[in-house]
Structure 1
Amino acid sequence: MQDILMIEDEVNIAEAVRFILSREGWQVALHGDGAGAIEAIRHHRPRLLILDLMLPNRSGTEVLADLRADPDAALAGMPVLMLTARGQVGEAAAQADQILSKPFDNADLRAMVRRMLP
């Protein structure tokens, strides 16, 4: 089991987040698009999902809706931190546990993850 799975298509952002969070001791796995996201979540079974709103092949909102409807209660109830471009919250706010707008401050990211992963 990974501590965190990040689904983000921008490689530079994904690698930077992995570096920042791994320095805090968390294990971070990466997946690059909305296609296969639910399968990646089932495979990694993370304690926290960091999910980008704008993904190729399937939006973060669609991935999150599928996750919340999953028959596996542990998956359906998984904490989700949604990453959005400023002003693009919309439906994501209803189902995500927390939302962080890009660009974000590294300290804000670390603090939010600490609150979500006691």
Structure 2
Amino acid sequence: MAEEPHRGEPVDRAVLQSLSDALGGADSLTEVIDAYLAGTPELVGLLASPDIAEVRRAAHSMKSGAQALGASMLAELAAEAERVARAGAPLRVELVGAVSDEYRRVAAQLAALRA
């Protein structure tokens, strides 16, 4: 059974370790983290777009990336954003804010882990 995330941490370190092992080591994981940190802020920004199809694509991409890195709360929030956009509705400001806040927590932990 997978190890529980460290209390208060937005990213499950066991998932990161498994990903590192699958990729062949820490250098490859660092490249993945760097790409995630470089690309995800744009996706967060797109959640406020009036183009619902763009919102859905951004939310889906965020969900996938967050799942791969073990950021389960961010993945859940992005999945909710994707469901709302799939239904053709704009996202509530509160949901966009929650996604943005959680992404900042994830980004801070990933940046600290790669340092």
Please report the TM-score for the alignment, with normalisation by the length of structure 2. Answer: 0.27
By percentage of residues, which structure has more strand? 1
Tell which structure's C-alpha radius of gyration is larger. Answer: 2
With a CA cutoff of 8 Å and minimum separation of 6, indicate the structure with the bigger relative contact order.
Answer: 2
